[in-house]
Amino acid sequence: MFHKIIYIILGILCINLTSCAQSGIPKNFKEIPIPKKNSDEIRKLNYSKNEYKVKYENNKLEVENYTPNRNTELKINNGILKGYNHGEWGGQLLFRSNDNKETEIKTGNILFIFNYKNKIFFIEGISHLSINEGFLYELEIEGNKFSYKKVLDFEDCPEAYAIFDDKIYIASYQNFYKIENLKIKTIFNNDFWGGLYPNSIALKNEEKVFIGIRGGIIELNLKAKTRKLYTSKQ
């Protein structure tokens, strides 16, 4: 009987260790139940002083403290595209040439500027009070002239993005999207992380997608449509 108990304990330990190794979650994080919206658990995460950023380095998931940055930029041949996001006070997209001349392209809260399939895109959005919206634009440049066209509307404000296998993945205020061939698909809708401010996405494949948020990290399986939540053990 004693030996059976020992074998059971060892078996449980092996299962736990295998699970941790497969998930790649850092040892100082633990899984907790998915909280309900407007619950005490959500409020505790929202009030957390810790925000975590996720990334893959050398095929290993790395989690570090996140420092907010409301500005974004992208270098192009003859200068830099600069995006500013001042929340309820607005923002702008401008071009600063190599000789320091500035041209305003668009007003609005510019969140990200990036290259995708040999074109330049930018994302604009805001979540403040009753406003919760976001848009994807394609930027067109002809000589010293700039124009843009709206490509997609989001149901809420994009917070983080990643490009993987020619697809764009967006973690928004409370949704998760996949964009393929500039067509959008909502994978998770109105989910629990509303108000926990996603800041980064790390992908190994569509079954291993991690999001850095305030108070912890999220693991998504886009194929099975499952999610897990981890917080620091400290």
pLDDT tens sequence across 163-209? 999 999 999 999 999 999 999 999 999 999 999 999 999 999 999 99
pLDDT tens column, 104-147: 999 999 999 999 999 999 999 999 988 999 999 999 999 889 99
- Do 49 and 74 share a structural domain? no
Beta-sheet strands, E only, within the chain: 29-32, 52-57, 60-65, 71-76, 79-85, 91-97, 102-107, 110-116, 119-128, 131-142, 145-154, 158-164, 167-172, 176-180, 183-188, 200-205, 208-213, 216-221, 226-232
- Does residue 198 contact residue 51 with C-beta atoms inside 8 Å? no
By CB neighbour count within 10 A (0-12 exposed, 13-18 middle, 19+ buried), where does 135 fall?
middle
- Do 80 and 58 share a structural domain? no
Q: What is the mean pLDDT of the chain?
A: 91
123 lies in some domain: yes
What is the predicted pLDDT for the residue at 70? 86
128 lies in some domain: yes
- Do 182 and 109 share a structural domain? no
10 lies in some domain: no
- Do 91 and 40 share a structural domain? no
159 lies in some domain: no
13 lies in some domain: no
Residue 128 structural domain: 70-154
Phi/psi for 9 (5° steps) reads -60, -45
The tally of domains found in the chain comes to 2
What is the predicted pLDDT for the residue at 143? 83
17 lies in some domain: no
25 CB-side CA count, 13 A: 26
User: Could you tell me where the DSSP H helices lie in the chain?
Assistant: 2-23, 40-46
- Do 218 and 179 share a structural domain? yes
What is the predicted pLDDT for the residue at 24? 86
- 213 Cβ contact partners less than 8 Å away, ≥ 6 residues apart: 45, 51, 52, 193, 196, 197, 198, 199
- Does residue 20 contact residue 170 with C-beta atoms inside 8 Å? no
pLDDT tens column, 12-54: 444 344 444 445 899 999 999 999 999 999 999 999 999 999 9
- Do 123 and 76 share a structural domain? yes
103 lies in some domain: yes
- Do 181 and 137 share a structural domain? no
- Do 170 and 199 share a structural domain? yes
- Do 98 and 47 share a structural domain? no
8 lies in some domain: no
Percentage of the chain surpassing pLDDT 90? Answer: 84
- Does residue 207 contact residue 220 with C-beta atoms inside 8 Å? no
What is the predicted pLDDT for the residue at 23? 55
